Amino acid sequence: MHEKKVRVGLMGLGTVGTGVIRLVEGHQDDLLHQTGMGIEITRILVQNPSKERAVSVNSDLITDDPFSLLHDPEIDVIVEVMGGVEPTRAYILEALEQGKHVVTANKDLMALHGGEILKKAAEKECDVFYEASVAGGIPIIRALVEGFSSDRITKMMGIVNGTTNYILTKMSQEGLSYNAVLKEAQELGYAEADPAADVGGLDAARKMSILSTLGFHVGMNLEDVDCQGITGVTSEDIEYGKKLGYVMKLIGIAKQDDELIEVSVQPTLIKQSHPLASVNGVYNAVYIHGEAVGETMFYGPGAGELPTATAVVSDLVTVVKNMKLGVNGRGMVAPYRQKKLKNDEEIWAKYFVRFIVADKIGVLSHITKVMADHNISLEQIIQQPYQNSNKAELIIVTHSASKKSIKGILKQLHELDYVDEIKSSYRVEGGE
């Protein structure tokens, strides 16, 4: 028989909180056999105690007073699924101060204040786990911390935002405009009424800062992530990408070369043969390259009540197992390497550029000469008439070039008389 029950204070009873209750109550036998202890949710923090709930809970458990959870000596673990940065950060720090372990699904909080929270956890010998903060039900954080602990990760590429992946998938498959698909995604509940954090790339950037911190053992901040969203992506860009053998995705890239690191989130044209190219709809995937293991990919639902709640309860099980073994607070490795970020000269990639030029003899050869002067060579070219005018549309894919060179060439092309407009430029990945 188990010697005692682990008592849990649940902060938040929205979609994920409801899923946590369903899993904890529905899997008591499994949890008991896995941990040797019962798990009981003894207090639930909500904003409005009188609100109708999607799950039936004893009204005696519900409170709107956070300190009835934080200062209850009987509660062993705080599970935070309420979201937001403040006052959530203060609550979690207070929970750790009181010696309580913490499980959170809060990517915003961990991206902005993860270092402070993990430091406090180490001081108090408490666990802090946050698997659900990145890619919903995919166990990517545990894989990075445990599965790759003996390897050296050189590159991570992730589709870590379901909303943008849904939008780009629909644009690609149905030829629709960005605005038309966004409206549909909002009606279906895949996109928020204010979708700025998703479509602007901020949500993905937060997740990439968490993944790069863990994967490279450095303290990455949100401002270290070069971030660009999908609002400027057009159906024309997507169609030209297809003609050249690429699929448009919002990709988070974290790369490490000789201690130098780059982390970015941007619309990227990825080779159709690459595993990430076939990740569609609201699904997420993280592709990892390790020096020893080579290529691996983790794929699954990136959000939703039960996938995200599964990651939360999985972390909760780990906390309880650690309590049994008396090893709480020893699982997470704090960043121990110095952060050295690449500059634009040190970031190399292929690029797709689409622009409108005068349809005259010699223009193409002049443009290739300008590019050669910047040490940029071309891998693919499409040229065709543009909208029944005396102009041509030119689409090029470069060989690998530095970000500095690409910025320089775009500036120079923009100033040339025979270049009418630079329509778009995107990073290209997966063709190595």
If 0-12 CB within 10 Å is exposed, 13-18 middle and 19+ buried, where does residue 15 land? middle
CA atoms of 220 and 299, how far apart (whole Å): 24
429 SS3 class: strand
> Helix or strand or coil: residue 36?
coil
Burial annotation 144-180 (CB, 10 A radius, 16+ → b, else e): bbebbeeeebebbbbbbbbbbbbbbbbbbeeebebee
The residue from 100, 107, 170, 207 that is catalytic is 207
Is there a contact between 174 and 180 (Cβ–Cβ < 8 Å)?
A: no
Residue 170 designated active-site: no
Rounded to whole angstroms, how far apart are CA atoms 242 and 37? 54
d(CA 229, CA 209) in angstroms, rounded, equals: 16
CB distance 349 to 400 below 8 Å: yes
Catalytic residues: 207
